[in-house]
Amino acid sequence: MITTYARAIGAALATAMRADPSVVVLGEDVSVGGPFTVTTGLAEEFGAGRVLDTPISEAAICGVAIGAAQSGLRPVLEIMYVDFLTLALDQLVNQAAKARFMSGGQLGVPMVLRTQGGAGQRGAAQHSQSLESWLCHVPGLKVVMPSRAVDAAGLLASAIADPDPVVVVENKILYPRREQLPEVVEPVPIGVAATLRPGRDVTVLAMSRMVSESLDAADQLAAEGVEVEVVDPRTLVPLDLPAVLDSVRRTHHLVVAHEAVAHGGFGAEIAATVQKAAFDDLDAPVERVGAPFQPIPLSPGLEDAYLPDAASVVAAVRRVLGR
């Protein structure tokens, strides 16, 4: 079945809602599909009682999802842009992430927060950010960041079934991408990486949109005789560290690639962790690919130059290999 990343997510939501009446979807404009059409059709099938349009009140609707999760529902909250998640961070960080811990295990918050980030649509500095590293810093949250439709659907199914708050960070550039999917998409377990291309010379650990950029980079480098192994962690928290280390111990070189600002990005955490765990296996310091430390500009030429792409990955691979 040919589908898109956006449609695969919508289908996964519908599948979960058919299977479990406690699953509800809420967010701004979700009944009409929102700006990216992900939730289109859900209101028609499941009604306004389970597909709830909300006011533009990110903090309150996040709190509503938390409270609903604590009292028996399995809410899937959509925050339209990850940039707006800032408005809901008290709720997510102080209420959702800590509820189980602070209550001594009495409370669980089985909610999913879907949001999307990434630049490339001339959205400028407040509609284009990649803020996942903030979320990864908070104990109690799980963070998944699918790069493919099959993972977006499969991880969402696992996230809905999970007992903890899971943030699914989608990517607006990926929504329309077409992909061949099996008729029945199996859940993708949270915390399991996927090796999308084997290679023996260097590991590129790439996230979200940077996965396809890294696969393009691998094609280019293959022409030069460099074999790149592309690994998608799929889940950032909890990170599948064994899979990363397994790859690094074979290739002895690691490049971490994400679209987020490199400064303080999740790549820094991965680099530090891998260098500690596999220092003797590395032939070179871990290289990072990320955006420069500045807000995202509107002007097309500037935005294009700002965004890491396949060429950035190629350059990083050359640096790590000393070529």
Partner 1 sequence: MDAEQTRAVLAMMWRIRAFEERVGQLKRADEVHGLIHLSIGQEGVAAAVCGQLRTADAVYSGHRAHGHALAKGASMARALAELMGRRDGLCRGMGGSMHLVDVEHGFLGATGVVGGNIPLALGSALALRAAGRDAVAVVFFGDGAVQAGLFAESVNLAALWRLPVLLVCENNGFAEFSPRSAHTPVERVRDVVAPFGLAGGTVDGNDVDAVWDAVAGLLPAVRAGEGPALLECLTHRLRGHYEGDPDRYREAVSSAEWRERDPIARLQRAATGDGRLDPDELPGFERAARDEVERAVLAARESPFPDAALAASLVYGR
Whichever of 52 and 243 has its CB closer to partner 1, that residue is 52
Q: 155: part of which helix (H) or strand (E)? A: helix 149-161
Query: Smallest gap, in angstroms, from Cβ of residue 97 to partner 1?
Result: 9
Nearer to partner 1, 164 or 229 (CB): 164
Among residues 28, 45, 58, 258, the one annotated as catalytic is 58
Q: For residues 282 and 146, give the distance between their C-alpha atoms in angstroms, rounded to a whole number.
A: 27
Tokens of 126: 């407040």
253 flagged as catalytic: no
* Cβ 163 to partner 1 shortest distance, Å: 3
- Interface residues with partner 1 (CB under 8 A) are 22, 24, 49, 52, 54-55, 57, 59-73, 75, 90-91, 94-95, 99-108, 110, 139-140, 142, 162-164
Decide if 49 contacts 70 (C-beta within 8 A): no
Q: Which of 44, 45, 127, 170 is catalytic?
A: 127
Output 57 or 299, the one with its CB closest to partner 1. Answer: 57
Shortest separation between residue 108's beta carbon and partner 1, angstroms: 5
Quick one: which of 252, 146, 138 has its CA closest to 189?
146
Q: How far is the CB of 279 from partner 1 (least distance, A)?
A: 26
Q: Is 258 a catalytic residue?
A: no
Sign of torsion over alpha carbons 28, 32, 37, 43? positive
Residue with Cβ nearer partner 1 (191 or 290): 191
Nearer to partner 1, 59 or 284 (CB): 59
Distances (CA, A) of 140 to 21, 94, 95, 222: 26, 10, 10, 40
Would residue 150 be called left, alpha or beta, if left means φ above 0 and alpha means ψ between -120 and 50 degrees?
alpha
Q: From the CB of 63, what's the least distance to partner 1, in Å?
A: 3
Number of helices followed by number of strands (H, E) in the chain: 12, 14
Asked if residue 171 lies in contact with residue 209, where contact means CB atoms within 8 angstroms, the answer is yes
Amino acid identity, residue 87? L
Residues that are catalytic:
58, 127
